[in-house]
Structure formats: structure tokens, C-alpha cells
Amino acid sequence: MVLDNRSASYPEPGTSRSLSVVPGHPERVEALRAQFAEQPPDLPVRLAKRTSNLFRSRSRRDTPGLDVSELTHVLHVDPVARTADVEGMVTYEQLVDATLPYGLMPMVVPQLKTITIGGAITGLGIESSSFRNGMPHESVLELEILTGSGEVVVARPDNEHAELFFGFPNSYGTLGYALRARIELEPVRPYVRLRHLRHTDPRSYFAELARVCAEGTADFVDGTVFGPDELYLTLGTFTDEAPKLSDYTWLDIYYRSIRERDIDYLHTRDYLWRWDTDWFWCSRALGVQHRPVRLLLGPQRLRSDVYWKVVAFDRRYDLSNRVNRLLGRPRREPVVQDVEIPVDAAPEFLDFLHRDIRISPVWICPVRQRHPDRQWPLYELDPHTLYVNFGFWGTVPVRKDAPRGEHNRAVEAKVTELGGRKSLYSEAFYDERTFWRLYNGTAYARLKHRYDPRGRLLDLYAKCVKSE
């Protein structure tokens, strides 16, 4: 068994004492309710957040929002019941650090450290355990929500607020804000063994992915596509031993290792954050994949939240497009999207990406609904179908006379044609009628009427498409 200076010894789940309950949550909730009551009645209520993992441009407002910066506590970890109670603004980095000492982790840990629990529940999330555990909201047992009416309710799948419980995912804070969540946890082992399997044919690649997911022998499944004939399927398995450990937290780059190594080993914590150090591969656009630059910056600055601030500054002042104009280069359109496509249609969608969008690499992540008997009305997937999440993030050149969002609109049309779903964390271009057809406007209107009757919060179309 490998030895190094970082402990990777986890206890058996259920043998450790739980954390003490962190006090003060009721007082923090009451303070937030008081803030809500003081918001101008003629303006939409918003959150006053310094950071975000959204890639939608927003209208800038001078009015103050709700300060949720105090809702950042892991309230309780119960290693016997395998649950955690956490406040809505707790990041997954905080939560993982609180649960790993008990040999536990959340059922699904989204890829980036500063994604919050509340954000992943109301705005969805996915990772390499999603082929068996679904999305983060599917392991939620209970939600405490500040609704658009200013009321605080506790929603469970079997109480009087069950409709809100199931309708909260994909509502993006337009029905209310998550103040606290009780979530399920699962056992881990100290290390993860990785196998990177290369394929050259998309059809055999996705057939193998479906077979592996059905077989269920891997703990984690995802993939990376570098080109039409260079596709990698990565299978991760928990293990108690590791003959040699890799480290992608500073000088070495994880996504490059996929092409270089058939077998790899990581600490479980490092596996969970393997994509964060370089924001998948997006850090290359910021020039930080050169070794001297990484030496200078240090691991503390090689983080997705640092990159996000740089990109947000660039987008706010349109710096990249200004430079391109000065240099006589074509304007570029950001294409930052995650979509779910039924696995049988995945080869066709990948061919479309290579042919019409021309963006690479592409992240591949299988997902299947965890509970086939449940319905999540604002983001409905066939519970008996394996879907493939395609994550593609970059910019592409556009024609001078091209309409705004030409490539993004093409993606939306193709996703709809193939019976897929598109996440709303980034720009969307649907017309209103199409949007409400795809995202269950009938169910949403019923929830909006009950929990935000005065329209204190933006509606989903205004927030996610009109970017108000």
C-alpha cells in the first residue's frame, strides 16, 4: 500500500461519532426572513452573491439583494444514518471535507469545488457517479425553503409541500431559496483506481458505456472525447491500496493524463476534484497550463472559482471581442452548454457537435434517474433510459452577419430533436412558448401561484432566457 504525507485512512461508516449540531441556524433563518420583508415591494427579490457558477449574463442592478453569506455551515453529519444537514450556501468542498473523515461522501459531488448545495439542488448537477445515483437533488431527504411569499417551509417527498419538493430542482431560485438540506451520503475508500479505455468508433464507444453502466462493476464512469476517432471511457473503482499515486492539484494536468496513462490512482478527495484544478481543460484559454506559470501561481490559485472571476471580468467588459476586433479576427460566440441525450442517440449528437459546432474536447457523463418511480416535473427524464451528458465549453468563430447565438440555437434544436434536455445554467435562446413546453410550464405555473403569488421572484423564463 502506498504511503505519503497525506492520510487516506477512512473509518468504516457508522463507527465514528457524528459532528455536534452547529448552533444558530434558526437565528440565521429569521434574519434572512427579516431581510426579505425589507426588500422593495416593486422590485424582484434577488440574492446578493459575490460568486456564481452560472454562465448567463445578468442585468446589473443597484438594488440590494438578500445577503445569504451566513448560511455556510455544515450543521450535522450522522455517520450511522449516513446523512448530513447543511445550509444552502455550503460548498461541496466544505461538505466533502466534513464527510470524508467519516468515510462518507455525498451521493453525487459536482465537478467544481465552489458549487453550493442549494445551487446544485435548484440548478441541477452531475458527475461520474450519476449513472447509479442520478443528480444531486435525488439524494435529498428534506428541504427547508424560503419561498417567494416570504414563508419558510420544510418540504419532504411525503408532506404537504411534496409538490414543491419535487418541483424545486431546475427552478433556479424562482420559487424560493434553499436554506437547509438533509442529504444522503455513501461510503468511500481511500483511493480510486482509474482505467482509461480508448475507442475509435463512437457507436462502439457508447455501446460499451451503456454496457458498463448496466453491469454496475465500476463506482464511477465518465469519458473524454478529443476527436471523432479518439474517445476515452474512464472507469473508476474504490480501492484500499494504491501502488503509486498521481497528483493533479498543481503542476500536472489531469485531462492530459487520460491520453498518457491506461491505469492511474488518486486519493479519493483528489479524484472528486480532478477537474477543478484546470476547470476541466478551460484553463488553457487563460494561459495557465504552462509549467512556469503554474509554478508561479501555486495550487491555491489553480481553482475554478479564480478562473470564473477572470472570465466574468472579460465578459462584463467584452475584452476578448475587443482584442479580436483590433487584430482583425472574427467575432467569437461562447458555447458553454451541458445537455442530456438518450444513449441511443448519443452517436448522432456527437457527430453533430464535430460537424456543426467544432468544439473539443467534450466531456461525457452517463446519468440515469435514481428512483424510477419519482417525477421531477421541471426537468423530466425517462426514468428507464440511460442518458449521456455532453459538456462542451468554449468559443467558436461566427460569420459577420450571423444572428446572435447561432451555434447555441443549433444545439438547442438538435437536443430537442433527439429527445434530450438542456441545462439552464448558461445562455438559452428558446422562444417563450417552446421553453414552457420543454420545461413543464403547467406544473411551474401551479407552483408559482402557490409559493410566489405576488411574483416577488423572477419567473424561470425571465431569469434563464431573458437574463433579467
Percent of the chain with pLDDT over 70: 93
The reported pLDDT for the residue numbered 47 is 86
pLDDT, tens digit (0-9, with 9 covering 90-100), for 423-467: 999 999 999 999 999 999 999 999 999 999 999 999 999 999 998
Q: What is the pLDDT of residues 145-161, one digit of tens each?
A: 999 999 999 999 999 99
| Distance (Å) of CA 324 to CA 317, 319, 332 | 13, 9, 9
What mean pLDDT comes out for the span 115-141? 97
3-state helix, strand, coil in the chain (%, to 5): 35, 20, 45
Contacts of residue 133, Cβ cutoff 8 Å, sequence gap at least 6:
107, 108, 139, 186, 370
Query: Distance between CA 251 and CA 193 in Å, rounded?
Result: 21
Mean pLDDT of 50-69: 69
Local structure of 152: helix, strand or coil: strand
Give the pLDDT of residue 1.
40
Which percentage of the chain shows pLDDT scores above 90?
A: 83
Question: For residue range 8-32, what is the model confidence (pLDDT) as tens digits?
Answer: 678 777 665 556 678 899 999 999 9
pLDDT score recorded for residue 121: 97
How confident is residue 5, by pLDDT bands cut at 50, 70 and 90? very low
For the full predicted model, state whether its pTM sits above 0.85.
yes
DSSP 3-state of 251: coil
Query: Are 374 and 166 spatial neighbours (Cβ–Cβ below 8 Å)?
Result: yes
User: Which residue carries 441511443 as its cell?
Assistant: 344
Segment 175-194 mean pLDDT:
98
pLDDT, one tens digit per residue, over 294-335 is 999 999 999 999 998 898 888 777 777 787 778 878 888 999
Q: What whole-number distance in Å separates Cα of residue 364 and Cα of residue 455?
A: 38
Radius of gyration of the CA atoms of the chain, in A: 22
pLDDT above 90 for 219: yes
Instruction: Say which range, 20-24, 66-70, 92-96, has the weakest mean pLDDT.
Output: 20-24
Mean pLDDT of the region 25-40: 95
Distance of CA 293 to the CA centre of its chain: 28
**Structural domains in the chain, sorted by start:** 25-188+457-464 (3.30.465.10), 191-422 (3.40.462)
The SS3 call for residue 23 is coil
Specify the pLDDT at position 3: 40
How high is the pLDDT of residue 13?
Answer: 72
- Cell match 464527510: residue? 99
pLDDT at 2 > cutoff 60: no
